[in-house]
Amino acid sequence: MLKDQCLLIVDDHGVVRRGLRSLLAGTEWVGEVHEAATVAEAQQLATLHPIDVVAMDINLPDGDGIEATRRILRARPTAKVLIISMDQDDATVSRALDAGACGYMLKLTEPPDLLVDALRTAAGGARVLGPDVELPRPAPLAGRHRRSLPAEMDQLTDRELEILVLVAKGCANLEIAQHLHLSEKTIRNQMTGIFAKLGVADRVKAALLAQKAHLV
């Protein structure tokens, strides 16, 4: 059970730091919370304190939060870094994960409590990606099925299609998470988006649509 985790919030906007700190207030698994506005401050705090979890922005006044992630992990190899940024392009996500970040969320994630859930998931050692964040990966389904997909299913991203195929094959969320090397929480978030795009209320109806579209 997680307890007294030491957190570091890295963001050059004070209102963002205070907002996240407010969300974390009273959370039972959180202990000390430190704040940094620059790469240099973040590195210094990670050296001085036993940081367990880092909420890391990317665009900082004196450098890149991805480089800051590398430096912090050199100082604290057991720390878990969750990127929380406005950037969501594939190249940035890929660089962040390659640097050792265990997750990537968008600042505008709704509801905001999902950010706290993501930090807790990261603290537990699992990878977590926001519902609007795409993990760069091969997408063999795209070229083979895009032309014949019904309109509502064509709205799905390549990853959502991949998840839908696994659902249609009878996989539970935990199995899907393990297959894609993501957290179960991330899969649940993705499933919510898939249901909304398909206009269905549950996985059974989503699976039937997938079968009808000959995805399996």
d(CA 68, CA 106): 18
pLDDT recorded at residue 213:
84
Q: Give tens-digit pLDDT for 14-73.
A: 999 999 999 999 899 999 999 999 999 999 999 999 999 999 999 999 999 999 999 999
d(CA 162, CA 159): 5
Give ∠ CA 149-187-126 in degrees, rounded to 5.
145
For residue 193, which phi and psi values (nearest 5 degrees)? Answer: -65, -40
d(CA 10, CA 23): 15
Q: Could you tell me the two tokens for 25?
A: 């207030």
d(CA 194, CA 206): 8
State the pLDDT confidence band at 81, using cuts at 50, 70 and 90.
very high
Q: Would you give the DSSP letter of residue 99?
A: T
Decide: helix, strand or coil at residue 80: strand
pLDDT recorded at residue 138:
44
> Could you tell me if 128 and 121 are in contact, meaning their C-beta atoms sit under 8 angstroms apart?
yes
Q: Give tens-digit pLDDT for 87-103.
A: 888 888 888 988 999 99
Instruction: Indicate whether 7 pLDDT > 50.
Output: yes
pLDDT recorded at residue 181:
75
Is residue 129 classed exposed, middle or buried when 0-12, 13-18 and 19+ CB atoms within 10 A define those classes? buried
Helix (H) or strand (E) holding 55: strand 53-56
Q: Give tens-digit pLDDT for 107-140.
A: 988 788 899 999 999 999 888 888 778 665 544 4
Instruction: Indicate whether 142 pLDDT > 60.
Output: no
What is the percent of the chain with per-residue pLDDT over 90, rounded to a whole number?
56
Instruction: Indicate whether 185 pLDDT > 90.
Output: no
pLDDT recorded at residue 21:
95
Going along the chain from its start, the domains and CATH numbers come out as 5-129 (3.40.50.2300), 140-212 (1.10.10.10)
pTM of the model: 0.66
Instruction: Strand 30-36: give its sheet, edge to edge.
Output: 30-36, 5-10, 53-56, 80-85, 103-106, 128-129
